[in-house]
Structure 1
Amino acid sequence: MTTHATPQASAVPKSGLDAADLGASARSSSPAAEPAARSRWSWMGLGFVGALGILVFWAFDALPFQDLPAHAGLIALRHRFAESPFDQRFFVLAPHLGPYSLFRFIGEQVTSMFGPIAAVRTLGTLPLVVTPAALLFARRRLHGDMSPTMGFMGIVLSFGLMTLLGFASYLLGLAVMLFGLTLWLELLLAADRGENTIAKELVMLAAAPLIFIAHGHAFILFLVLAGIATIVTGRRRQRLLRLRTLVPALSLAAYVAWLERASTTPPGSVHVSAASLEPHFQGPYDKFTLLITPTLMTRTGIDFVIGCVVWLLVILCTVATVRKLSKPDAAAFATEGDGSSIHTRALVAGAVVIGAMFLVLPHAIGWFGFVDGRLVPLVLFLCLMAIRRPSLDRWLASSLDRMAPALAYGVAVVALVASYRFQNEARGYHEILAAVPSEARVLNVPLDPNSDIFTAHPFTHYDKLLLAERPTVVSDIWFHQGSALYPTKENPALRLPSTYSESDLHGVDWAAYHLEDWDYVLIRTRPEASTPATPDRLSLAEHRGGWWLYKSL
Structure 2
Amino acid sequence: MTPQPSDSLEAPAAAQATVAGGATPALRSRTRAAWIGLVGVGLVAVLVFWVFEALPFQDLPAHAGLIALRHRFSQSAFEQHFFVLAPHIGPYSLFRFLGEGFVRVIGPVGAVRALATLPVIATPLALLFARRRLYDDRSPSYGFIGLALSFGLMTLLGFASYLLGVSVMLVGLTLWLELMVATDDEAPDRTRRELIVAAFAPLMFVAHGHAFVLFLLCAGVSTIATGNRFARILRIRALVPALALAGWVAWLERGATTPPGSLPVVPPLVPLFQTPAEKLGLLVTPTLMTRTGIDFIIAVVVWFFAVACTVLTVRSIRSGDGVKVAAEVRHSRALYASALALGLVFLALPHAIGWFGFVDGRLVPMVLYLALLGIRRSVLPPSFLRALDTGAPVVAATIAVLAMVASYRFQAEAAGYQQVLGRLPVNARVLNLPVDPNSDVFTAHPFVHYDKLALADRPLVVSDIWFHQGSALYPTPDNPAVRLPASYSESDLKGIDWPAYQLSDWDFVLMRTKPSAPQPTIPSAFVLEEHRGGWWLFRHTAAAHSNPAGDAHGLP
State TM-score, norm by structure 2: 0.92
Q: Who is 1:60 aligned against?
A: 52
Q: 2 CA distance for matches of 1:546 and 1:433?
A: 12
Residues 72, 465 of structure 1: 8 Å contact kept: yes
Q: 1 CA distance for matches of 2:329 and 2:324?
A: 8
The structure-2 alpha-carbon separation of the partners of 1:30 and 1:122, relative to structure 1 and needing over 3 Å to count, comes to closer
Q: C-alpha displacement at 1:335, in angstroms?
A: 3.3
Q: Who is 2:193 aligned against?
A: 200
Residues 429, 547 of structure 1: 8 Å contact kept: yes
Q: 1 CA distance for matches of 2:72 and 2:404?
A: 33
Q: 1 CA distance for matches of 2:499 and 2:138?
A: 64
The structure-2 alpha-carbon separation of the partners of 1:96 and 1:332, relative to structure 1 and needing over 3 Å to count, comes to closer
Residues 86, 439 of structure 1: 8 Å contact kept: yes
Query: For residues 267-326 of structure 1, what are the alpha-carbon distances to aligned partners after superposition, in whole Å with 9 as ceiling and x for unaligned?
Result: 111112x11122111111001100000000000001011111111111111111111123
SS at match of 2:90: coil
Q: Who is 1:385 aligned against?
A: 373
Gap runs ≥5 in structure 2: 1-17, 542-556
SS at match of 1:377: helix
Q: Who is 2:449 aligned against?
A: 461
1:190 aligns with 2:182: yes
Query: For residues 82-109 of structure 1, what are the alpha-carbon distances to aligned partners after superposition, in whole Å with 9 as ceiling and x for unaligned?
Result: 1111110110000000010000000000
Higher helix share: 1
Q: Specify which of 85, 98, 107 is matched with residue 93 of structure 1.
A: 85
Q: 1 CA distance for matches of 2:94 and 2:459?
A: 25
Residues 325, 334 of structure 1: 8 Å contact kept: no
Q: Specify which of 447, 460, 464 is matched with residue 476 of structure 1.
A: 464
Q: Who is 2:242 aligned against?
A: 249
Q: Specify which of 360, 367, 376 is matched with residue 348 of structure 2.
A: 360
Q: 2 CA distance for matches of 1:508 and 1:521?
A: 12
Residues 227, 322 of structure 2: 8 Å contact kept: no
Query: For residues 435-475 of structure 1, what are the alpha-carbon distances to aligned partners after superposition, in whole Å with 9 as ceiling and x for unaligned?
Result: 00001000000000000000010000000111100000000
Residues 93, 206 of structure 2: 8 Å contact kept: yes
Q: C-alpha displacement at 1:80, in angstroms?
A: 0.4
Q: Specify which of 290, 293, 298 is matched with residue 282 of structure 2.
A: 290
Q: Specify which of 492, 498, 509 is matched with residue 521 of structure 1.
A: 509
After TM superposition, the structure 1 = structure 2 runs for residues 417-432 of structure 1, keeping only pairs within 5 Å, are: 417-432=405-420
After TM superposition, the structure 1 = structure 2 runs for residues 244-393 of structure 1, keeping only pairs within 5 Å, are: 244-272=237-265, 274-326=266-318, 330-331=319-320, 335-337=324-326, 339-393=327-381
Q: 2 CA distance for matches of 1:368 and 1:31?
A: 51
SS at match of 1:503: coil
Q: Who is 1:415 aligned against?
A: 403
Residues 71, 100 of structure 2: 8 Å contact kept: yes
Q: C-alpha displacement at 1:506, in angstroms?
A: 2.0
In the alignment of these two chains, the number of paired residues is: 523
Residues 334, 341 of structure 1: 8 Å contact kept: no
1:228 aligns with 2:221: yes
1:532 aligns with 2:520: yes
Q: Who is 1:11 aligned against?
A: none
The structure-2 alpha-carbon separation of the partners of 1:86 and 1:283, relative to structure 1 and needing over 3 Å to count, comes to same
Q: Who is 2:121 aligned against?
A: 129
Q: Who is 1:398 aligned against?
A: 386
Q: Specify which of 122, 141, 145 is matched with residue 137 of structure 2.
A: 145
Q: Who is 2:549 aligned against?
A: none
Q: C-alpha displacement at 1:32, in angstroms?
A: 1.6
Q: 2 CA distance for matches of 1:391 and 1:552?
A: 69
Q: Who is 1:50 aligned against?
A: 42
Report the AA paired with residue 106 of structure 1. Answer: L
Q: C-alpha displacement at 1:336, in angstroms?
A: 4.6
Q: 1 CA distance for matches of 2:138 and 2:339?
A: 23
State TM-score, norm by structure 1: 0.93
Q: 1 CA distance for matches of 2:324 and 2:183?
A: 14
Q: 1 CA distance for matches of 2:258 and 2:23?
A: 69
Residues 27, 33 of structure 1: 8 Å contact kept: no
Q: 2 CA distance for matches of 1:336 and 1:265?
A: 54
Q: 2 CA distance for matches of 1:384 and 1:151?
A: 12
Q: 2 CA distance for matches of 1:366 and 1:479?
A: 13
Residues 228, 322 of structure 2: 8 Å contact kept: no
Q: Who is 2:552 aligned against?
A: none
Q: C-alpha displacement at 1:31, in angstroms?
A: 6.7
The structure-2 alpha-carbon separation of the partners of 1:422 and 1:136, relative to structure 1 and needing over 3 Å to count, comes to same
SS at match of 1:331: coil
Residues 127, 175 of structure 1: 8 Å contact kept: yes
Q: 1 CA distance for matches of 2:332 and 2:173?
A: 13
Report the AA paired with residue 85 of structure 1. Answer: A
Report the AA paired with residue 333 of structure 2. Answer: R
Q: 2 CA distance for matches of 1:519 and 1:312?
A: 54
Q: 2 CA distance for matches of 1:105 and 1:29?
A: 49
SS at match of 2:206: helix
Residues 325, 333 of structure 1: 8 Å contact kept: no
Q: RMSD of aligned C-alpha atoms?
A: 1.5
The structure-2 alpha-carbon separation of the partners of 1:30 and 1:175, relative to structure 1 and needing over 3 Å to count, comes to closer
